Amino acid sequence: MKSERLKLFFYGLLLFLFFSILSVIVSYIEYSSYKKSVNMYLYGVVATLKEKYPSITEKEIIELLNGKKNVSFLKELRKYGIQEDSSILYTLEDNYHYSIILNGTFILFLFFLFLFCFFFYFYKKEHEIKKITHYMREINHRNYLLKIEDNEEGELSILRNEVYKTTIMLREESENLKKEKMALKDSISDISHQLKTPLTSILIMLDNILDNPNMDDETKTDFIENVHHQVKNINFLLISLLKLSRIESGAVAFKKEKIAFRKIINAAIKNIEILREVREVNIKVDMQEEIIFLGDYHWELEAITNILKNAIEHSNEKENIFIKVEDNPLFCKMIIQDFGNGMSKKDLQNIFKRFYKGENSRSDSIGIGLHLAKNIIEKDGGYIKVDSKLGEGTIFEIRYMK
């Protein structure tokens, strides 16, 4: 700050010296002009005197003009009719003195104007810097509610606007961190709750096996199968949570590749083939032509598989599930419809929430499949909605924009 002030003062001083020198030069030119005018006038006076008064010698006139004779210059001039109040000599002299005073006043005015501008500029600048410093201290104390936007021009205004943008960014990051902390807290709580029940069941069954070495084989086999089932559920939960955390954290880079609906639907049906055969559910696909959409094949397959799995689990045995694919200039649409128990209004509002289990969900349901499917579809640029009525079934509609 001090170096900048000295630099500005130096440039201002140079500018002041320039105007001062310019003023001196102008004064010198005016003085030369004044001297020339006086000499010409005196030359005319001398010539006229010589002509009218031949008795006056040139030596006497020169001595008189040069001041070497002890005579009164005004007195001698008055002898020849030259008056002080009407003489051009005095007029020129007055003009010259006036010019000197005017130039001096101009120089002094410039000097004081420079000092005023110099101190006013730095006063204003220091005031603004103090305000920005205050804002920065407030930001350091995590006060992000400041409003310091400024539409004026200038370096400090630009700096102030940048500080304001930084404040906005830090405020948003702070709010996002709070949301992430709350989400993490809820996730840990949910995961703990989800793991607590199966782990408790596993421990109880293993304790029973260890405490009863003479347990009959049939009961022991039932316990082991139950433990195996619970471990599978825990494994599915952990894998699903790992996938979900990667998506929600932005660690997944979704590809944009051409995907044929027929290919991905057939692959999804194959993934849930065993469950479909167990419940004897028929899946019918209605697609008039080969339709292509853009997305990440691997993750979209995961999403569609989860939706189909949910439809089968909530369908009655030997029921039909319809998959219909439509195409228009704006988007491609896939509809998955089952005719199961349907959902209540409460379930419809919460069906995509993590760990939410509907009223008609199976006892071993984790409640993460539809939440994962929705995150995948939306992160990949798609859109999903659901409509359902109790006793009539459920319709999932997925749209992929072109």
| Tokens 């660690």 found at | 251
Task: Using the predicted structure, report yes or no on whether residue 303 has a pLDDT greater than 60.
Answer: yes
Provide the residue ranges of all domains of the chain, joining segments of one domain with +: 2-140, 172-248, 257-401
Highest mean pLDDT among 40-54, 81-95, 212-226, 373-387: 373-387
pLDDT at 91 (0 to 100): 59
Dig out the tokens for 231 from the structure: 């471990």
pLDDT of residue 71: 47
Question: What share of the chain in percent tops pLDDT 70?
Answer: 68
The pLDDT of residue 68 is above 70: no
Q: So what's the pLDDT on residue 391?
A: 84
Per-residue pLDDT tens over the stretch 149-192:
555 555 556 666 666 677 777 777 777 777 767 766 766 676 77
pLDDT of 338 strictly over 80:
yes
DSSP result, 351-376: TTSTT---TT--TT--S-HHHHHHHH
Contact at 8 Å (CB) between 107 and 21? no
**223-247 average pLDDT score:** 82
Give me the pLDDT at residue 252, please: 80
* pLDDT above 60 (res 99): yes
> What's the CATH superfamily of 257-401?
Histidine kinase-like ATPase, C-terminal domain (3.30.565.10)
**Strand runs (DSSP E) across 35-192, as ranges?**
none
**Other C-beta atoms lying within 10 Å of the C-beta of residue 98:** 10
**pLDDT tier for residue 111 given thresholds of 50, 70 and 90:** confident
Region of 318 (left: φ > 0; alpha: ψ -120 to 50; beta: rest) is left
What local confidence, expressed as pLDDT, does residue 286 receive?
93
Q: Is 46 helix (H, G, I), strand (E, B) or coil?
A: helix
CA distance 213 to 226: 18
Q: What is the pLDDT of residues 4-38, one digit of tens each?
A: 556 666 766 676 677 777 777 777 776 677 667 66
382 forms beta bridges with: 400
396 forms beta bridges with 336, 386
Average pLDDT score, the chain? 77
Q: Which of 146-155, 217-226, 293-302 has the least mean pLDDT?
A: 146-155
Check whether 84 has a pLDDT greater than 70: no
CA–CA–CA angle 232, 280, 342 (5° rounding) = 80
Domain over 172-248 is classified CATH 1.10.287.130: yes
DSSP strands (E only) in 229-377: 257-260, 282-286, 292-295, 320-327, 331-338
Give the pLDDT confidence score for residue 400 in this predicted structure. 93
Q: 257-401: same fold as 172-248?
A: no
pLDDT at residue 116 greater than cutoff 50: yes
